Chain A
Amino acid sequence: MTTFTGDLVVPSAREARPRPLSDSLSLTWRNVTNLRRNPQLLVFATIQPVIFVVLFRYVFGGAIDTAALNGVPYVDFLMPGIFVQTVVFGSLTTAVGLSTDLNLGLIERFKSLPIARSAVLVGRTIADLIRNVFVVVLMCIVGFVIGWRIHTNAIEFLAAMLLIIAFSYSLSWVFAFVGLSVRDPETAQAASFPILAPLVFASSAFVPVSTMPGWLQPWAEHQPVSVVVNAARALTAGPETLEPGTSTTQLVVTAVAWIVGIIVVAAPLAVRKYRRVA
């Protein structure tokens, strides 16, 4: 092995060690700044869910038999579903953002710097989390304006919002992996939709699972979107929305298990992909 004996000083391993927290913060700042500089993107990203809220409330609201909802008004049944739908589709942003950075050569620049190998992905997912919080707050306001009411209490309401945000964060890691695996942002978008649509629409987000054909019910009842929606619904509209034999606590525990499970599987895969992509 060659030993360098010139005048130039190489940083020691200690000096060159990555700083996961500060690196992730710097990159979060960068991504959030990008978001602020693109207000149009944020505006359109929030208009869409707002339109969904209004449309579902007034267009489909009358067609849904409230008897099937145990007397719960449709708007109260619907809102948790719309929240989850919005953040699930919002997690696409993670894939598109990373894919764009990859195409612009920014990922290559970041990889050539002495930063923590998780920092680029943590910075991206945290920025998307901040964006989701913003969107959820805005949707709450719109929801309250069109007659959405909380049947439980403030703590359960906050727990429901936390659950939704946490679920979106776990999906961000899945889409971080997708974003790093495809060729360009357009493909990232196209590749993500087929994963998301069955999760969102074959779920309890918009209609009760009991109205679906029998073969679809087992999937619709147990897939993660439904679990999170049901938990958020029980936490906001009250236990009347529960299927027989379940409890709010049980649903929340299952939802948290899904969230943790998705992160535990997807995050290492995404980081591994990041290390190999160039």
Chain B
Amino acid sequence: MRARHSYDAPMDHAIVADGLVKHFGDVHALDGVSFSVPAGSVLGLLGPNGAGKTTAVRVLTTLLRPDRGSAQVLGVDVVAEPQRVRAALGLAGQYAAVDENLTAGENLRLVGRLTHLDDKVIASRSATLLEQFDLVGAADRLVRTFSGGMRRRLDLAAALVHQPPVLFLDEPTTGLDPQGRLDLWTVIEDLVATGVTVLLTTQYLEEADRLADTIVVIDHGDVIAEGTPAELKARLGATVIEVGFRELADAERAATALATVGAVSVDGRTLNVKVVDGNGATAMLELVRVLDTSNLDPSSMLLREPTLDDVFLDLTGDVATDDDADADAGTEVVSR
């Protein structure tokens, strides 16, 4: 599945990236990335900041030419026939790219005209989308009066005016509040139900877990893992024991002591102990004994299935939070 060249994607794959290479000076944004997305499914593209996610999306949406490698959307080459690819894709980016000084309706109409739809079609599509995205009441309001969540919904609606069969969502919920995120997830799920193929990049692993059929993890411009969310979690091992401490010093001391039980990762005052073999309950008993012997007093203990965050941490050695890309996302820690 990870061959660098002559990537043989099945014939019915809607998006195919084959050995994509893109360097910006010394920065290897993409270093031979290959993956494909079956028609009608959702691919979650994950990776730490600067891993090359956005570069991959830019190449696939014809905004950037790859240095090497090729890519097709619905079998059409993105470099050779960019206009055909553009006519078939919808792109909703990290920033809500809607015109502040137009109304919601005018924004949709503009995209309708630029995708060369008939006026009648534009009118009916706009009406449908405003309804679908709960923007009917705001149709004639200037976008500069909109909340962040409304802008995001309009941005996504604008990407859908011409009913593209393939949709690229580059961090669609970054900066949204939890309710806004849930709303947008429902909308995306509805779209997928209509058969749209989606490529989604996100820093929220919960989002990928919920929406994606397949996940591709990239780091330093290279694919480092791919599979369904369940497969990726299974790869990691059976169980994770989460132990919380009141003092940072205790957490650090415990991290050393607990290395005999399993692989330990530290996240502030919380330790995640990955138990690879044996059963979780036995490991928990062992863990309690070690803590007792070391005179360590935990504030909480939890035995749980691994999440995508654990997988991510294991693969990249990095917590999947966003440090500088979007101030709105701020200090938000990946939810569990």
> Interface residues, chain A, CB within 8 Å of chain B?
1-13, 15-19, 22-23, 26-27, 29-30, 33-34, 37-38, 104-106, 108-115, 119, 278
Say yes or no: B95 contacts A104, CB within 8 Å: yes
| Contact of B64 (CB < 8 Å), options: A17, A26, A110, A278 | A278
Complexed CA–CA distance, A38 and B93 (Å): 26
Top 3 A-B pairs, shortest CB-CB distance: A4-B75, A105-B97, A16-B87
Say yes or no: B86 contacts A22, CB within 8 Å: no
For the complex with contacts A6-B12, A105-B97, 20 further pairs of A-B residues with Cβ separation under 8 Å are A2-B16, A8-B14, A11-B88, A13-B83, A16-B81, A16-B86, A18-B83, A23-B114, A27-B114, A30-B110, A105-B96, A108-B63, A109-B97, A111-B63, A112-B63, A112-B89, A112-B91, A114-B83, A114-B115, A114-B116
Task: Known A2-B11, A3-B11, A3-B75; judge A38-B101 contact (CB<8 A).
Answer: yes
Complexed CA–CA distance, A109 and B154 (Å): 13
Number of interface residues of B (CB under 8 A): 50
Which secondary structure dominates where chain A touches chain B?
Answer: loop
| Contact of B63 (CB < 8 Å), options: A1, A8, A278 | A278
Closest to B115 in A: A113
Residue of B39, B77, B101, B197 with most chain A CB atoms under a 10 A cut-off: B101
Say yes or no: B76 contacts A10, CB within 8 Å: yes
Closest to B77 in A: A1
Say yes or no: B102 contacts A34, CB within 8 Å: yes
A44 to chain B, nearest CB (A): 16
CB-CB under 8 A from B165, the residues of chain A are 8-9
Say yes or no: A4 contacts B87, CB within 8 Å: no
Chain B 62-88, CB-CB to A under 8 Å as 1, else 0, gives 111000001010111100010110111
Residue of A4, A33, A111, A112 with most chain B CB atoms under a 10 A cut-off: A112
Complexed CA–CA distance, A162 and B186 (Å): 55
Say yes or no: A26 contacts B75, CB within 8 Å: no
B264 to chain A, nearest CB (A): 41
A275 to chain B, nearest CB (A): 10
Q: Could you tell me which residues of chain B, from 242 to 271, have a CB within 8 Å of some CB in chain A?
A: none
Chain B 224-252, CB-CB to A under 8 Å as 1, else 0, gives 00000000000000000000000000000
| Contact of A16 (CB < 8 Å), options: B84, B113, B197 | B84
B13 within 8 A of A: yes
Complexed CA–CA distance, A26 and B116 (Å): 10
CB-CB under 8 A from B14, the residues of chain A are 4, 6, 8
Say yes or no: B64 contacts A105, CB within 8 Å: no
Say yes or no: B11 contacts A5, CB within 8 Å: yes
Task: Known A30-B99, A109-B93; judge A37-B74 contact (CB<8 A).
Answer: no
| Contact of B114 (CB < 8 Å), options: A1, A108, A110 | A110
CB-CB under 8 A from A111, the residues of chain B are 62-63
Chain B 31-62, CB-CB to A under 8 Å as 1, else 0, gives 00000000100000000000000000010011
| Contact of B113 (CB < 8 Å), options: A12, A13, A26, A278 | A26
B142 within 8 A of A: yes
